[in-house]
Amino acid sequence: MNKTIQLQDLGNKDYKETWEYQEELFKGIVDLKIKNRREETSLQTPNYFLFVEHPHVYTLGKSGDLSNLLLSEKQLEAKGATFYKINRGGDITYHGPGQIVGYPIIDLENFFTDIHKYLRFLEEAIILTLQEYGIVCGRSEGETGVWLGAGTPFARKICAMGVRASRWVTMHGFALNVNADLGYFDNIIPCGIRGKAVTTLNVELGVERVNEEEVKEKILKHFSHLFEARFEKS
């Protein structure tokens, strides 16, 4: 089992380009697994973890409802935003500057074969990271992601999640609002959940800006501990 994960920080990159790159890495792992089974070989499968920041974009998961996007094509254009229907789980979400997006493209057979556990570990890595900033957060029953004030009238989401998995290989991932412009969330019903707010780390801390590189380091520390993995920059 290969527990080394190749880390790539893509910087600010177009959503569609990044999605195509994810698909390429995903297909490479799946193809190798098929080859191993067909030829009875045991070549190690690679694992990847991509950090990226996207220009303003809205994405709708395969089970999502288009009516949760509250903008017309012209209005999207006016806001400098794009829109894509994609092949992850979940409904609609927003990505943009000031948000840390993480895409683990890993072969879960290198770690454990349990999608539920995988999602809980993703949430846990974010929860532990936010706790380092003194943020009290957790899960909201029946709603994937990381929340503040879950179960209260002040519930607000700080990290959205949506994944795809095939043959135990994952893609897509999480989007943590660190310094994001919350105004862009007013144009959607985030994750299809009405009446619940969205927040960012800098708003919760009452500061103008949080160091995103520091947040990334903390996420990687907790992710590697939970998955018993080692990161290698590539």
Active-site positions read 191
The whole-angstrom separation of Cα 12 and Cα 42 is 36
- CA 198 to centroid of chain Cα atoms: 15
Q: Where are the beta strands (DSSP E) in the chain?
A: 4-12, 48-53, 57-60, 82-85, 92-95, 99-105, 138-140, 143-148, 156-166, 169-177, 197-198, 230-233
Nearest to 157 by CA among 166, 169, 145: 145
Helix (H, G, I), strand (E, B), or coil: what is residue 170? strand
The whole-angstrom separation of Cα 234 and Cα 220 is 15
Helix (H, G, I), strand (E, B), or coil: what is residue 49? strand
Q: In this structure, are residues 102 and 183 in contact, taking their beta carbons and an 8 Å threshold?
A: no
Half-sphere exposure for 94 (CA within 13 Å, toward CB): 30
